[in-house]
């Protein structure tokens, strides 16, 4: 069986004559300086299929990504500068468990400003439970760099003393 092409109707269902749907091409070739109308050459289907007829969004997307990346880097730099200069730093120099209900510790506190600082120490038992806790308050008018002794009262025998860190009114995260 051979399929034959169907004949094109010359009238529409109401009986009106149909116009030729194929576009007409110019009778004379355009000069090199004249613009060629793509619709006259039948390129609208290809433009729609491959997206050539509209502007690309790529520059807009690249610009948005660049702005977001620049904002992220600026925030990262700000956070690194602020986070690397805390107003107070501390460290545990030594500790000693003196009895079943007492432990002694020595801490070093350094402040960049004359601000009040609160330093928290914890005594822990062999099973890592907290058996004693102490908060030392360093007044704003005391020396900026100092070594402080502390005595913690414990509920039962401690095996270690841990310095949680020091905070100020402006910095609530222990350092």
For residue 122, what is the domain's CATH number?
2.60.40
Shared-domain flag, residues 107 and 75? no
Give the residue numbers spanning the domain of 57: 38-82
Collapsed DSSP state (helix, strand, coil) of residue 124: strand
Q: How many structural domains are present in the chain?
A: 2
Q: Which of 58, 82, 106 is where one domain is finished?
A: 82
pTM for this predicted structure: 0.56
Per the listing, tokens 């300086």 go with 33
Query: Can you tell me the distance from the alpha carbon of 98 to that of 104, in angstroms, rounded to the nearest whole number?
Result: 7
Shared-domain flag, residues 59 and 101? no
Give the residue, 26 or 71, on which the prediction is more confident. 71
Shared-domain flag, residues 151 and 93? yes
Over range 70-94, report the average pLDDT.
90
Positions of E strands within the chain: 88-99, 102-111, 117-124, 130-138, 145-153, 160-167
Whether residue 4 is contained in a domain is answered as: no
Whether residue 67 is contained in a domain is answered as: yes
Over range 36-57, report the average pLDDT.
66
Shared-domain flag, residues 109 and 73? no
Quote the pLDDT of residue 56. Answer: 75
Q: Are strands 145-153 and 160-167 parallel, antiparallel or unpaired?
A: unpaired
Give the residue, 31 or 149, on which the prediction is more confident. 149
pLDDT of residue 90 exceeding 90, the answer is yes
pLDDT of residue 35 exceeding 70, the answer is no
% of the chain exceeding 90 in pLDDT:
50
Quote the pLDDT of residue 6. Answer: 72
CB 138 within 8 A of CB 114: no
Question: Other CB atoms closer than 10 Å to residue 129's CB: what's the count?
Answer: 10
Q: Are strands 160-167 and 117-124 parallel, antiparallel or unpaired?
A: antiparallel
Q: Could you report the per-residue pLDDT of 109-150, keeping only the tens digit for each?
A: 999 888 999 999 999 999 999 999 999 999 999 998 999 999
Query: Can you tell me the distance from the alpha carbon of 142 to that of 9, in angstroms, rounded to the nearest whole number?
Result: 103
Shared-domain flag, residues 114 and 149? yes
Query: Can you tell me the distance from the alpha carbon of 130 to that of 124, in angstroms, rounded to the nearest whole number?
Result: 5
Shared-domain flag, residues 156 and 92? yes
Shared-domain flag, residues 99 and 163? yes
Q: Which of 64, 82, 100 is where one domain is finished?
A: 82
Quote the pLDDT of residue 53. Answer: 65
Q: Could you report the per-residue pLDDT of 50-69, keeping only the tens digit for each?
A: 766 667 788 899 999 999 99
Over range 3-14, report the average pLDDT.
70
Quote the pLDDT of residue 97. Answer: 94
């Amino acid at each position: 069986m051979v399929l034959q092409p169907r004949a094109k109707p010359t009238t529409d269902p109401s009986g009106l004559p149909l116009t030729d749907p194929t576009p007409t091409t110019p009778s004379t070739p355009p000069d090199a300086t004249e613009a060629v109308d793509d619709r006259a050459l039948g390129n609208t289907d290809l433009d729609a299929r491959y997206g050539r007829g509209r502007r690309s969004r790529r520059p807009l997307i690249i610009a948005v990504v660049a702005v977001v990346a620049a904002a992220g880097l600026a925030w990262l730099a700000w956070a690194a500068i602020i986070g690397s200069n805390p107003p107070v730093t501390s460290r545990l120099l030594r500790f000693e468990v003196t009895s079943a209900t007492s432990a002694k510790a020595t801490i070093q506190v350094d402040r960049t400003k004359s601000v009040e600082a609160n330093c928290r120490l914890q005594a822990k038992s062999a099973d890592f439970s907290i058996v004693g806790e102490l908060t030392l308050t360093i007044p704003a008018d005391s020396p900026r760099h100092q070594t402080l002794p502390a005595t913690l009262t414990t509920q039962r025998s401690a095996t270690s003393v841990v310095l949680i860190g020091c905070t100020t009114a402006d910095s609530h995260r222990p350092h």
